[in-house]
Amino acid sequence: MNNGAFLTMSDVRFGYPRGAVFLGPCDLAVRVGTFHAVLGPNGVGKSTLLRLACGVLTPSGGVVTCEDRNLATIPELERARRIAFLPQRFDAPLDLSAREVVMLGRFPIRRNRFFDSLEDERAAGECMATTGVGDLGDRRLGDMSGGEAQRVHIAAALAQKPGLLVLDEPTSSLDPYHQMEIGGLLRKLCDEAGLTVLVATHDLNLAGQFADCVTLVVDGAVVCTGTPQETLTPDRLRSVYGVPFERFCKSSQGRSWVFPIPEEAMTVS
Amino acid sequence: MIFGVVALLIVVAISPGIGSQPIGVARAWGSVFGFGEAGESSVEASIVREIMRLRLSRTICALLAGTTLALCGAVTQTQFRNVLATPYTLGIASGGALGAAISVLLGLDQFGFGLPGESLGALLGCAAVVGLVLLLAGTLYGLSGNSLVLAGVAIGFFCSAMLMFATYLADVREKDRIVRWMMGSVATFRFREPLQMLGPMAVSWAGMIACGPGLNQLQLGEELASARGVRVGLLQVANIGFASLGTACVVSLCGPIGFVGLLVPHTVRLVVGRDHRLLLPVAGVWGGVFLIVCDWLARLLPLWWGRCFSGEISAAALPIGVVTSAVGAPVFLLLLCKDRAIRKNG
């Protein structure tokens, strides 16, 4: 294994046919059992990077390697048993129940697609319990809060029994409490279930608190990768986002938080 | 599901007893299996046999068409994520109608390979439209949902315009034939036509049901389905292919019977939910039941009308397309309102 990396992107490039976003060349290594966050301004290609990482898109140049195999050569179903993906937005029909959504996640791994086995039921139940939605069973998606729905979708991703969980902005529409809850859940999955997690997010402090490793992306290229402490410095964030940042430290916990501070010219009088 | 199968068996069983000549269910079946008086070679018995043959072939025709249309409707709605999608969304019915009209104009009956001219023309028209839709969407847009629907609608309009032109050119007798064909009918005089279509229809049923688990994933969006290991492009082409095959068979056999493909899948979805492994077979069974019952009404309504108002007994049957929509639309509206009321209160 190369340095215990679950997923490696080397010299990966990608262009959409109409040329909307051009990505690369990108190098990235997601190590086994780590929580890896990808940060960067809107439209720099974070989502594209994630789609390449989970194999939904195939790079137009370079190679994505998953557990020492070229991702593009792994058959679709086998790939889905290694990597689960949760897009930022997808419109699931609102009358699906929590259990139905999670059972759908069994698709790549189940033996018989037409009849649910006891094993499928049991695995779905376990995944729901893991994400704390074990009691939602028959509740419909349309009757859930955003936080509940997100945990149901994460349970569905877990039902694939993947080694790597790829999530695009899992906290973007949640309040601070539920952001922390999802962040903590993902952290727990890394620590206790040995899962590798790759997340794209705009939430600098969520990444700072929960992630082991942060990658900054600007204009389709990886700027730097490292621990949150190394990467999320006010100077670098200023150059990435074009806004001044300040860092606050709480020495008792050894943690730090960064906040954008508007310049005089930007404040509305 | 069990409910549906039982209902289907019942309607098929009593179907030969229904119509303008009261022959009775037992006598009708007796004529086939040779029990009771109908086994005798009296003139009356042979008339009963003849009526039985007519009614049973109609029933089989309605069953096949209803099942196919309901299945095609269900998979089309899921594939295009569009509640208004029907088996005819891709312009297949218009293409079939144009083909049928042209074959009437050219008098193609003698080249029909045993099929009536309209059927052959419709089959060719449907094939042409399906080919064009796949080609157009494949090269220009890459088979994406909405573009494909729009392409189908555009082709449908073009075919309708040509159909209007063809009707304009036709003489009175040809016009009458075209218009009657357009209304849809399960009237047939032999078992041969429906049974000829059984093969391709069964292939389309099996194909669509086999697509079921993939369609379940597709409901969550193409991206998630593809991440779960579904070959989305292949699934969509297969799905369009099977649905088009089934629809083309129906259009060629019975003409463009409307509303079944919209009403039945939606109604069944309200009851059994969105799991296509269950939804598709159940919708297929109830589609058959629905169309057989509509055919009863098509045969009985003129009769009742005649008895109540004019005193004469009319043996003419209504076009089934009139009944499916006229009966189906109010029923569907009721169901929608009821479902809404349940959701509000529950």
Residue B27 confidence class, pLDDT cut points 50, 70, 90: low
Please report the pLDDT score of residue A82 as a whole number. Answer: 94
B-chain CB neighbours of A84 within 8 Å are 227
Min Cα–Cα distance to chain B from A81, Å: 8
B-chain CB neighbours of A160 within 8 Å are 228
- Residue of chain B whose Cα is closest to the Cα of A113: B213
- Cβ partners under 8 Å of residue B174, min gap 6: B104, B105
- Name the average pLDDT for chain B: 82
B-chain CB neighbours of A83 within 8 Å are 227
Q: Please compute, for residue B212, the number of CA atoms within 13 A of its CA located in the half-sphere on the CB side.
A: 20
pLDDT exceeds 90 at position B116: no
Please report the pLDDT score of residue B20 as a whole number. Answer: 64
B-chain CB neighbours of A164 within 8 Å are none
**Among the partner residues A56, A92, A113, nearest to B227 by beta-carbon distance:** A56
Interface of A with B in 157-216 (CB under 8 A): 160
Please report the pLDDT score of residue B161 as a whole number. Answer: 93
pTM, entire model:
0.87
**What percent of chain B is modeled with pLDDT above 90?**
26
Locate the domains of chain B by residue range: 2-345
Does domain B2-345 match CATH 1.10.630.10?
no
A97-154 residue pLDDT tens: 999 999 999 999 988 888 889 999 999 999 999 999 999 989 999 899 989 999 999 9
Please report the pLDDT score of residue B38 as a whole number. Answer: 47
Q: If you average pLDDT over residues B29-48, what whole number do you get? A: 65
Dihedral sign for Cα atoms in the order A9, A15, A20, A22? positive
- Residue of chain A whose Cα is closest to the Cα of B220: A92
Please report the pLDDT score of residue B345 as a whole number. Answer: 46
Residue numbers of chain A with a pLDDT score lower than 50: 1
CB contact under 8 A, B229 and A114: no
Alpha-carbon gap, residue B111 to B113, rounded angstroms: 6
Please report the pLDDT score of residue B21 as a whole number. Answer: 67
CB contact under 8 A, B227 and A83: yes
B262-272 residue pLDDT tens: 999 998 988 88
B75-90 residue pLDDT tens: 999 988 888 888 888 8
Please report the pLDDT score of residue A169 as a whole number. Answer: 93
Alpha-carbon gap, residue B280 to B76, rounded angstroms: 11
Q: What is the 3-state secondary structure (H, E, C) of chain A?
A: CCCCEEEEEEEEEEECCCCCCEEEEEEEEEECCCEEEEECCCCCCHHHHHHHHHCCCCCCEEEEEECCEEHHHCCHHHHHHHEEEECCCCCCCCCCEHHHHHHHCCCCCCCCCCCCCHHHHHHHHHHHHHCCCCCCCCCEHHHCCHHHHHHHHHHHHHCCCCCEEEEECCCCCCCHHHHHHHHHHHHHHHHHHCCEEEEECCCHHHHHHHCCEEEEEECCEEEEEECHHHHCCHHHHHHHHCCCEEEEEECCCCEEEEEECCCHHHCCC
CB contact under 8 A, B277 and A105: no
Please report the pLDDT score of residue A139 as a whole number. Answer: 92
Q: If you average pLDDT over residues B186-201, what whole number do you get? A: 80
B-chain CB neighbours of A56 within 8 Å are 223, 226-227
**Among the partner residues A56, A79, A93, nearest to B274 by beta-carbon distance:** A93
Interface of A with B in 106-135 (CB under 8 A): 107-108, 113-115
Residue B346 confidence class, pLDDT cut points 50, 70, 90: very low
